[in-house]
Amino acid sequence: MSFAVATPVYEGPFDLLLHLILREQVDIYEVSLSRIVDAYLAEIERMNAIDLDVATEFLLIAATLVELKARRLLPGRDDVDLDEELALWEERDLLLARLLECKTFKDVAGVFSRLADEADRSFPRTTGADERFAGLAPDLLEGITGERIHLAYLRAMVPKPTPRIDLFHVAPIRASVADAVAELVDELPRAGRITFRRLTSGLAERLEIIVRFLALLELFKQGMIELDQREKFGDIDVLWTGGLEPVAVGSIAIDDYEG
């Protein structure tokens, strides 16, 4: 059995499409609609047990892509309906615009992540005034009635929808150490130095954490990171040493973990 776990790889159809196209960007003349469509469909294939709502989104984009590909395979036909042709072009432009928007906010998210990481290193003082001033602060219960306490209680007791945080639409995707390496290669250069605990704080599954750890060992073996553990069982410091240039994941040879 190969190592396969759920990891959020693609956040949505645009995310996937962006990834597939930009992956081919290495040589721009190699970028091929045909290959992208095939890869896109292959990815959908992998999401077999996918949430229906999410599947719809992916399939909508797939339909557009297939249409584009079909049109491309039949160039220069005279009997093409001009309206259909125009509509297809419009759809293509729309898709392009959405991809650009998606990419824009992905880049913003990268900056946000960096800002938050920097801000997280400082801790605010929230201690408040000491007991010398107790009794001075205004009464918070002013205007609050038993009825409002009652309503607040009801609100608190309403079962909250379980936060199926972000994983729900990608959960069925099988991922591997290779995918974890790809994620880390994207994330670590931005983080610079980070602890293993922080690096895995967003992960819910034990297996995901293990796979991330194996991916780190892989990167360590490749000399792209340094690992430091100050005490036994202490948190592990991860330091990216691979430089700031984007790393082609394909260039990293990864051992298969078969079990």
Residues numbered 25 to 64 that lie near other proteins (CB under 8 A) are 25, 28-36, 53-54, 57, 61
Window contacting other proteins (CB under 8 A); options: 198-206, 211-219, 221-229, 240-248: 198-206
Question: Strand pairing partners for 237?
Answer: 195, 228
Size of the site for other proteins (CB under 8 A): 108
How far apart, in whole angstroms, are the C-alpha atoms of residue 155 and residue 89? 50
How far apart, in whole angstroms, are the C-alpha atoms of residue 248 and residue 185? 9
Of 98 and 174, which CB lies nearer to other proteins in the complex structure?
Answer: 98
How far apart, in whole angstroms, are the C-alpha atoms of residue 253 and residue 149? 61
Pick left, alpha or beta for residue 223 (phi over 0 → left; psi -120 to 50 → alpha; otherwise beta). left
Task: Write the DSSP string, 53-119.
Answer: HHHHHHHHHHHHHHHHHHHHHSTT-TT--HHHHHHHHHHHHHHHHHHHHHHHHHHHHHHHHHHHHHH
Task: Name the minimum Å distance from CB 207 to other proteins.
Answer: 17
How far apart, in whole angstroms, are the C-alpha atoms of residue 207 and residue 5? 7
Task: Name the minimum Å distance from CB 149 to other proteins.
Answer: 5
Residues shown for the chain:
259
Window contacting other proteins (CB under 8 A); options: 67-75, 174-182, 207-215, 217-225: 67-75
Task: Name the minimum Å distance from CB 31 to other proteins.
Answer: 4
Q: Cα angle vertex 221, ends 1, 203, to 5°?
A: 55
- Contact between 155 and other proteins by CB under 8 A: the answer reads yes
179: its two tokens: 């995918």
- Contact between 82 and other proteins by CB under 8 A: the answer reads no
Q: Work out the burial of residue 200: count CB atoms within 10 Å of its CB; fewer than 13 is exposed, 13-18 middle, 19 or more buried.
A: middle
Of 144 and 255, which CB lies nearer to other proteins in the complex structure?
Answer: 144
Q: Which of 104, 192, 205, 229 touches other proteins (CB under 8 A)?
A: 104
Task: Name the minimum Å distance from CB 35 to other proteins.
Answer: 6
- Contact between 8 and other proteins by CB under 8 A: the answer reads yes
- Contact between 108 and other proteins by CB under 8 A: the answer reads yes
Window contacting other proteins (CB under 8 A); options: 89-97, 173-181, 205-213, 214-222: 89-97
Q: Which of 45, 83, 138, 251 touches other proteins (CB under 8 A)?
A: 138
Task: Name the minimum Å distance from CB 80 to other proteins.
Answer: 11
